[in-house]
Each structure stands twice: as C-alpha cells, then as structure tokens.
C-alpha cells in the first residue's frame, strides 16, 4: 500500500505486461497509475494524486476524500441502551462492538 496526501494506493503485478499498476482506494472517483519498477509506480501514484487534485482545483470541484474512519451514528435511546448492554456483555466499548458487528455483516453482504 502507498500513502500520499491522505490517499491510499493499492498496487498489483501484471505478469503478462511486466507492469505494476494500481488504483487509489476508498474514494468514488477513479485514479489509476502504473510503472515498470517500484520507484516508477510510486512516482506515478504521487503524480496521479497531484493531477487529480489539480484537475479538481481547475474545475472548481471538491476532490473526493478518503474515508476518515469516523462514522456518525444516530439511534433511539432504547436502541442505544440495547447496544450498550450488548457491548458490555462482551467486555467491549460500544465503538469496538459496533465495529466488529457491522464489519461482520458488511462482509457477509459484500462478499
């Protein structure tokens, strides 16, 4: 994984073309990059992110931001109590418990 200006790039190897290629994760817009060496693919990643940010600035569009890891959550007081009790019974904080349960369910649905 590559990190640059808050963006994360994932690299894959294409053995047929002897290239490294990748894309930026965690955003809706598509940003790709490629190179023949690790140094080239890293620079291509940096250049692609910079080009994307420059393009957004030129067009006046707000660049898509990677996920922050913060997920605002609202519920009823009754559900809040139930969530608290479930988390407490497992010895976890509400955040840890919700992260575990929601991630498990998301994996079931998306895989």
Domain ranges of the chain: 2-59, 77-110
The predicted pLDDT at position 67 comes to: 73
Query: How would residue 110 be classed by pLDDT, with cut points 50, 70 and 90?
Result: confident
The predicted pLDDT at position 70 comes to: 78
Digit-coded pLDDT (tens) for 16-64? 999 999 999 989 899 999 999 999 999 999 999 999 999 999 999 999 9
The rounded distance, in Å, linking the Cα atoms of 89 and 81 is 12
User: Once rounded to an integer, what is the mean pLDDT over residues 86-102?
Assistant: 94
Question: Is the model's pLDDT at 111 over the cut of 80?
Answer: no
- Residue 19's Cβ-side half-sphere holds a number of Cα atoms within 13 Å equal to 7
């Amino acid at each position: 994984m590559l990190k640059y200006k808050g963006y994360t790039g994932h690299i894959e190897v294409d053995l047929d073309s002897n290239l490294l290629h990748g894309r930026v994760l965690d955003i809706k817009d598509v940003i790709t990059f490629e190179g023949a060496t690790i140094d080239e693919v890293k620079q291509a990643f940096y250049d692609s992110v910079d080009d994307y940010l420059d393009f957004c600035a030129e067009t006046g569009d707000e660049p898509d931001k990677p996920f922050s890891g913060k997920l605002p959550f609202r519920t009823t007081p009754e559900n809040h109590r139930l969530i608290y009790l479930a988390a407490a019974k497992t010895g976890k904080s509400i955040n840890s418990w919700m992260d575990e349960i929601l991630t498990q369910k998301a994996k079931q649905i998306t895989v």
